[in-house]
């Protein structure tokens, strides 16, 4: 089973929920930090780093001695990553999506593959938790290929928890796509509601079952609850605005370890996800 933990906006407590659920379970699982622009789950899980792997993607390199400047490569590129100006072929490596189209259409075999560094994948272990995080190279704009690489690290016969990037654009879709359940984390404020609505639309498009965690549930208003009811999305956990929780989190500590009464609540959260999926199976 793969559970992705997502939020329409940053700062809602997504990482707090994903890391505490992983720690509460205390069973063999893989935790993937797919928030590759700003991975921070390691601050709370504190894994022992075991391996760092460089991740590259292929981009074209043109041998101008073979090139006839026919422009077939620039015509096929949807991202203007390769253009022909007179007798010059220019490649904009950072714009390239590595589709390989230009290499296929070049009639002179003048284009070969070269690598562009995307970032690193770091592997580690914390007790029974296998930890994997992606870290995008500073200045690298394309995170989905990196997220896909991180996702390759999950084992099919083991629970995987994914800490998805915030937002509702391509990176979060790359992190949620193909997962069994999306746990959305929000807060009961107008901003929380607005971003939740976008996240729910994205999850519906992907056709993935979802549930909700409402963080700082005792601030704001009831509109998030009313929206969740209309959308038939269950609220699986409410976390109050609590000074001790905020302090624990800001010190990089986990709530289930510092406040043991929360361990059962995060365990129940995971059991409710399992129950939800079992019921869905029965209705199919
Ligand atoms: S398709 Fe090949 S031959 Fe034509 S301009 Fe591009 S690199 Fe040159
Ligand atoms: S590999 Fe694809 S995206 Fe990159 S330059 Fe070639 S056609 Fe454009």
CATH topology of domain 64-109: Alpha-Beta Plaits (3.30.70)
| Confidence class for position 11, pLDDT limits 50, 70, 90 | confident
**Residue 266 pLDDT level (bands cut at 50, 70, 90):** very high
* Residue of 91, 110, 112, 114 to test ligand 1 pocket, by largest number of atoms within 8 Å of CB: 110
CA distance 105 to 236: 52
Looking at residue 54, its pLDDT comes to 96
In contact, 36 and 165? CB cutoff 8 Å: yes
Position in ligand 2 atom list of the atom nearest CA 98: 1
- CA nearest to 33, candidates 25, 24, 22: 22
Nearest ligand atom owner, CA of 81: 2
3-state secondary structure the chain: CEEEEECCCCCCCHHHHHHHHHHHHCCCEEEEECCCCCCCCHHHHCCEEEEEEEEEEEEEEECCCCCCCCCHHHHHCCCCCEEEECCEEEECHHHCCCCCHHHHHCCCCCEEEEEEEEEEEEEEEECCEEEEEEEECCCCCCCHHHHHHHHCCCCCCCEEEEECCCCCCHHHHHHHCCCCEEEEEECCCHHHHHHHHHHHHHHHHHCCCEEEEEECCCCCCCHHHHHHHHCCCCEEEEECCCHHHHHHHHCCCCHHHHCCHHHHHHHHHHHHHHHHHHHHHHHC
pLDDT (tens digit, 9 = 90+) per residue, 224-239?
A: 999 999 999 999 999 9
Ligand nearest to the CA of 76: 2
Count of Cβ atoms closer than 10 Å to residue 281 Cβ: 8
Residue 214 CB–ligand 1 contact under 6 Å: no
Beta-bridge partner residues of 105: none
Q: What is the pLDDT of residue 142?
A: 86
The residue written with tokens 């990176």 in the block is 171
Nearest CA to ligand 1 atom 1: 106
Q: Average pLDDT of 211-231?
A: 94
Q: How far is the CA of 226 from the centre of ligand 2 (A)?
A: 46
91 alpha carbon, closest ligand: 2
pLDDT band at residue 166 using 50, 70 and 90 as cut-offs: confident
Specify whether the CB–CB gap between 164 and 63 falls below 8 A.
no
CB 123 within 8 A of CB 153: yes
Residue whose CA is at the smallest distance from ligand 1 atom 5: 69
What residues form DSSP beta bridges with 115?
Answer: 58
- Two domains, one topology: 2-55+120-283 and 64-109: no
Average pLDDT over residues 97-126: 95
Q: What is the percent of the chain where pLDDT is above 70?
A: 100
Per-residue model confidence (pLDDT) at position 30: 98
Q: Look up residue 273 and give its two tokens.
A: 């996800």
Task: Say whether pLDDT at 10 is over 80.
Answer: no
Is the model's pLDDT at 9 over the cut of 80? Answer: no
* Residue 79 · residue 87 · CB < 8 Å: no
Q: What pLDDT is stored for residue 169 in this prediction?
A: 84
The pLDDT assigned to 12 comes to 86
Band the pLDDT of 113: cuts 50, 70, 90: very high
* pLDDT tens figures, 27-81: 999 999 999 999 999 999 999 999 999 999 999 999 999 999 999 999 999 999 9
pLDDT of the residue at 18? 97
Query: How far apart (Å, rounded) are the C-alpha atoms in residues 112 and 115?
Result: 10
Give the whole-angstrom CA distance, residue 211 versus residue 208. 10
User: Residue 182 has what pLDDT?
Assistant: 97
Domain ranges of the chain: 2-55+120-283, 64-109
Q: How confident is the model at residue 151 (pLDDT cuts 50, 70, 90)?
A: very high
Determine the Cα–Cα distance for residues 77 and 206; give it in Å rounded to an integer: 27
Ligand 2 centroid–CA 139 distance in Å is 19
pLDDT band, very low/low/confident/very high, at 217 (cuts 50, 70, 90):
very high
CB 73 within 8 A of CB 195: no
What's the pLDDT score for residue 71? 97
Q: Which of 64, 75, 44, 43 has its CA nearest to residue 255?
A: 44
- Helix-helix angle 14-25:261-283, to 10 degrees: 90
Ligand 2-lining residues (CB < 6 angstroms):
60, 76-77, 79, 81-82, 96-102
CATH for 2-55+120-283 (3.20.10.10, 3.40.50.1370, 3.40.50.300, 3.40.50.1820): 3.40.50.300
As a whole number of Å, the end-to-end CA separation of the chain is: 18
Nearest to 58 by CA among 112, 110, 134: 112
């Amino acid at each position: 089973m793969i559970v992705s933990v997502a939020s329409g906006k940053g700062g809602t407590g997504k990482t707090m929920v994903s890391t505490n659920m992983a720690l509460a379970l205390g069973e063999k699982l893989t935790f993937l930090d797919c928030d590759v622009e700003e991975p921070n789950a390691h601050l709370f899980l504190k894994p022992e780093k075991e391996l760092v792997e460089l991740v590259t993607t292929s981009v074209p390199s043109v041998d101008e001695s073979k090139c006839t400047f026919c422009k077939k490569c620039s015509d096929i590129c949807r991202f203007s990553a390769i253009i022909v100006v007179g007798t010059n072929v220019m490649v904009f490596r950072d714009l390239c999506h590595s589709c390989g189209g230009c290499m296929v259409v070049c009639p002179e075999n003048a284009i070969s593959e070269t690598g562009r560094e995307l970032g690193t994948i770091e592997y580690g272990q914390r007790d029974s938790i296998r930890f994997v995080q992606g870290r995008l190279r500073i200045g690298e704009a394309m995170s989905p290929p990196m997220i896909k690489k991180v996702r390759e690290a999950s084992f099919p016969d083991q629970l995987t928890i994914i800490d998805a990037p915030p937002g509702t654009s391509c990176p979060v879709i790359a992190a949620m796509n193909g997962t069994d359940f999306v746990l959305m984390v929000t807060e009961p404020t107008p901003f929380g509601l607005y971003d939740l609505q976008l996240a729910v639309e994205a999850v519906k498009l992907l056709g993935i079952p979802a549930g909700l965690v409402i963080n700082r549930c005792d601030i704001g208003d009831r509109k998030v609850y009313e929206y969740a009811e209309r959308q038939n999305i269950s609220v699986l956990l409410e976390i109050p605005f609590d000074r001790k929780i905020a302090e624990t989190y800001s010190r990089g500590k986990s709530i289930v370890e510092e406040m043991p009464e929360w361990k059962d609540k995060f365990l129940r959260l995971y059991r409710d996800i399992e129950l939800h999926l079992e019921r869905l199976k029965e209705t199919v």
